[in-house]
Amino acid sequence: MIRIRELTRAYEMGTERILALRGVTLDIARNEYIAIMGPSGSGKSTMMNLLGCLDTPTSGEYWLNGEEVSRLSDDALARVRNREIGFVFQTFNLLPRATALHNVELPLVYAGVGGRERRERALRALDRVGLANRVQHRPNELSGGQRQRVAIARALVNQPSILLADEPTGNLDSVTSEEIMQVFADLHRGGQTVIMVTHEPDIAAHAERTVVLRDGRVESDSRGSALDPYTPAAAPEPLAAAAGAR
Amino acid sequence: MSLLEAVRFAFRTIRAQKLKSFFSLIGVLIGVTFLIAVVSVVQGMNRYMVDRFANALIGANTFELRQRPSIVMDDVTEDVWREWRRRPRISYDDADYVRERIRTPATFAKFCSDRVNVSYGGKVAKDVDLVGTEESYFRIRNYEITAGRTFTAQEVRAATPVLVVGSELADKLIPGLDPLGKPVQIGGLPYRIIGVVAKQGTLFGISLDKFAVMPFNAPGRRLICPINILDALIVRTDDPTRMQGALAEAEAAMRARRQLKPDQPNNFAFQTAEGALTTWQKISRILFLALPGLVAISLVVGGIVIMNIMLMAVSERTREIGIRKALGARRRDILAQFVVEAAALSSAGAVLGIGLGLVLAWVVNALTPLPAAVAPWSVAVGVVLGVTVGIAAGVYPASRASRLDPIVALRAE
């Protein structure tokens, strides 16, 4: 489903040119549950942005569902994000003044789905993450775990090809984190492709495949949930650290 | 995303920030209020001037042949004034001569008036407008008689000392009693009241009902005009469209009678309702010319305020824009959202402004004699201006928002 070939991404930092990704090749099949790991500065944020079609690569190819998305225009990328990708962020990124229901409806608004169908689908998505009784609550009336569930419902509501989670448990306590991981596991069992970017080995351990990035390259790609996590680098390279900060 | 959706987003945001939204639309509000209120007051004054002032003093399709204009609002130089005073006055014979030579069907009345005191028993009414005229005067003035009758042509010919009085004079002089048949005195001469004219109301706060009308050659005529001399010959054409024709006939007749050479100016004047209004029309034209400038200034200020608020909103809501973009909002969706929000703000200002303008017009209407009528076109212009200002002010901030990089926007605090 995802075919990535020699993907690079360079940033101009003043006069310096920083390579955040130095040629990543990766295939991800439908219904995989994959964790992308790496120390800070390894290029995992850049990887996440490229996978999520928020950014375009400097060179290389990114095929998503048979479409070469690495050269699309802004608006075409917006359409791909809307249809194919469901984001779950570390900081939830819900609209603070909107209710849970309205937050979940948002992707459907941009997909051009009409009012009644939108509401039904949003309610179904909220029901799926166990929040059927919280639809009219605003984010500040919900706990962290509930907020992340709203975000997951929002990510799923347009039936995307990929659920793309960026440190989904980074702002949650361990009990809640486990609950969220349980939700991910259930979704995966239901056929959903899940890509999770994290630096926490405990969280990555829930995935069935782990890709470790280091210095903009794939360091290891291993299957099995009980894998050995990466060992942190003693001192990150200054160049790579700067790229990671971008 | 549909327009309806954009409007819904916009109103959700405006509702969430009521106070800020209110302050941001105040400029447009003032501009539109001003537009509605000024237009309705000026139009109201216009109508007042035409209906009450000109038509009450002179009347529609009526002109007066006079020695000099009776209603002068322009500044008149000393020289002009002196020339006016040197002119010969209008005599009975002048009036008859002109009357015979006007072919256009019309009603005529000799006219003379001045302020006199009228007494009844021990009571004296001071500064009463005494009019000496003919029986046709009541038709020309459209006076409605509430009691008694007007005087007849025979009574005019016989110079009978009879009076038709205004309602206020009747009430003041003979309160609580039937004024008909009561003997009153003017300058020591006895008169008999034969009719009362319906209430005319006020003009600029001055009563129009303190008058008495008598045959022009009745015994008291010396009190108001020298012998054989008139203030005016009043001419009212039956057909309003033919008034200018009658005016031309009167002018030609008068010039012939005064034996004026072609290069000599008229040594007489015609007073018309329109003539009395020329100065007012000049004033109202200036007001209407100045109005767009004043309204434009407040709308430009209002637009700048809204643009500022929208620029602030864009930077405050950078993260929201990032979220929306990540969820699939295209540039034009973000653009539409912010433009519609600005347009909604400014239209809300326009609607409030219209409301406030209506209230102001109503207050003017209730507290002053001006009939301040709200012009429907000014309401329409107000709405259109409100929406336009909002769109114009919203485009730049919205386009900045729509061009934000989603990655950068998502990282914003």
- Residue A82 sits in a domain of what CATH number? 3.40.50.300
User: How many residue pairs bridge chain A and chain B with CB atoms within 8 Å of each other?
Assistant: 61
pLDDT score recorded for residue B403? 92
pTM value?
A: 0.69
Nearest residue, CB atoms, B323 vs list A52, A79, A95? A95
CB contact under 8 Å between B329 and A110, yes or no, is yes
Nearest residue, CB atoms, A78 vs list B2, B5, B330? B330
CB contact under 8 Å between A106 and B324, yes or no, is yes
Q: Does B283 have pLDDT greater than 70?
A: yes
Q: Is A216 on the interface with B (CB under 8 A)?
A: no
pLDDT score recorded for residue A232? 43
Distance from CA of B401 to the nearest CA of A (A): 14
Nearest residue, CB atoms, A111 vs list B319, B323, B328? B328
CB contact under 8 Å between A54 and B330, yes or no, is no
Q: Does A237 have pLDDT greater than 50?
A: no
Distance from CA of B308 to the nearest CA of A (A): 22
Q: Assess if residue A143 is contained within a domain.
A: yes
pLDDT score recorded for residue A236? 45
CB contact under 8 Å between A110 and B327, yes or no, is yes
Q: What is the pLDDT of residues B351-363, one digit of tens each?
A: 999 999 889 888 8
Average pLDDT for B246-258: 89
Q: What is the pLDDT of residues B176-214, one digit of tens each?
A: 888 888 899 888 899 999 999 988 877 777 788 889 999
Identify from B327, B335, B405, B407 which residue to disrupt to test chain A contact, counting A C-beta atoms within 10 A and taking the largest count: B327
Average pLDDT for B268-286: 77
On chain A, the residues whose CB falls within 8 A of the CB of B406 are 54
Burial B155-193 (b: 16+ CB within 10 A, else e): bbeeebbbbbbbbbbbbbbbeeeebeebebebeeeebeb
CB contact under 8 Å between A112 and B2, yes or no, is yes
Alpha-carbon distance of B234 to B219, in angstroms, equals 22
Q: Does B75 have pLDDT greater than 80?
A: no
Q: Which residues 309-338 of B have a C-beta within 8 angstroms of A?
A: 319-320, 322-333
pLDDT score recorded for residue B362? 87
Distance from CA of A86 to the nearest CA of B (A): 8
* pLDDT more than 90, % of chain B: 21
pLDDT score recorded for residue A177? 93
Least trusted range by pLDDT, from A104-113, B31-40, B184-193: B31-40
Residue of chain B whose Cα is closest to the Cα of A154:
B327
Distance from CA of B324 to the nearest CA of A (A): 8
Average pLDDT for B324-348: 91
On chain A, the residues whose CB falls within 8 A of the CB of B5 are 109
Average pLDDT for A110-138: 93
Average pLDDT for A54-67: 92
Residue of chain A whose Cα is closest to the Cα of B16:
A97
Grouping H, G, I as helix, E, B as strand and the rest as coil, residue B20 is: helix
- Got the DSSP string for B196-250? EEPP--EETTEES--EEEEETTSGGGGGTS-TTEESEEEEEESSGGGHHHHHHHH
Q: Assess if residue A63 is contained within a domain.
A: no
Q: Assess if residue A13 is contained within a domain.
A: no
Q: Assess if residue A6 is contained within a domain.
A: no
Average pLDDT for A78-87: 94
On chain A, the residues whose CB falls within 8 A of the CB of B16 are 97
Q: Assess if residue A43 is contained within a domain.
A: yes
DSSP label at residue B51: I
Least trusted range by pLDDT, from A38-52, A80-94, B22-36: B22-36
CB B109 within 8 A of CB B90: no
Q: Assess if residue A18 is contained within a domain.
A: no
Q: Does A233 have pLDDT greater than 70?
A: no
- Got the DSSP string for B364-390? HHHHSS---PPPHHHHHHHHHHHHHHH
Question: How many H helices and E strands in chain A?
Answer: 8, 10
pLDDT score recorded for residue B73? 65
Write down the mean pLDDT value for chain A: 88
pLDDT score recorded for residue A90? 92
pLDDT score recorded for residue B398? 94
Q: What is the pLDDT of residues A172-192, one digit of tens each?
A: 999 999 999 999 999 999 999
pLDDT score recorded for residue B55? 66
pLDDT band at B243 (very low <50, low <70, confident <90, very high): confident
Q: Assess if residue A39 is contained within a domain.
A: yes
Nearest residue, CB atoms, A109 vs list B1, B325, B326? B1
% helix, strand, coil for chain B, step of 5: 55, 20, 25
Average pLDDT for B156-176: 89
pLDDT score recorded for residue B54? 66
**Position with higher pLDDT, A21 vs A240:** A21
Identify from A44, A53, A54 which residue to disrupt to test chain B contact, counting B C-beta atoms within 10 A and taking the largest count: A54
CB A34 within 8 A of CB A207: yes
Nearest residue, CB atoms, B331 vs list A75, A89, A112? A75
DSSP label at residue B53: I
Would you state the structure tokens that stand for residue A17, as one six-digit string? 């040119």
Residues in chain A: 246
pLDDT score recorded for residue A70? 87
Alpha-carbon distance of A197 to A48, in angstroms, equals 7
Q: What is the pLDDT of residues A205-229, one digit of tens each?
A: 999 999 999 999 999 998 865 444 4
pLDDT band at A230 (very low <50, low <70, confident <90, very high): very low
CA B309 to chain centroid, in Å, comes to 40
The Cα-based distances of B56 to B133, B201, B203 in angstroms read 17, 10, 8
Average pLDDT for B371-382: 83
pLDDT score recorded for residue B295? 83
pLDDT band at A6 (very low <50, low <70, confident <90, very high): very high
Nearest residue, CB atoms, A74 vs list B319, B331, B407? B331
Q: Is B12 on the interface with A (CB under 8 A)?
A: yes
Nearest residue, CB atoms, B323 vs list A49, A93, A97? A93
Nearest residue, CB atoms, B328 vs list A97, A98, A107? A107
- Structural domains in chain A (count): 1
Q: Is B5 on the interface with A (CB under 8 A)?
A: yes
**Position with higher pLDDT, B303 vs B18:** B303
pLDDT band at A244 (very low <50, low <70, confident <90, very high): very low
Q: Does A47 have pLDDT greater than 90?
A: yes
pLDDT score recorded for residue A224? 64
**Position with higher pLDDT, A32 vs B73:** A32
pLDDT score recorded for residue B377? 87
CB contact under 8 Å between A93 and B332, yes or no, is no
pLDDT score recorded for residue A223? 84
Alpha-carbon distance of B51 to B31, in angstroms, equals 30
Q: Assess if residue A61 is contained within a domain.
A: no
Task: Give residue A102's domain range.
Answer: 31-55+75-245
Residue of chain B whose Cα is closest to the Cα of A105:
B327
What angle do the packed helices A144-156 and A174-189 form, to 10 degrees? 20
pLDDT score recorded for residue A15? 86
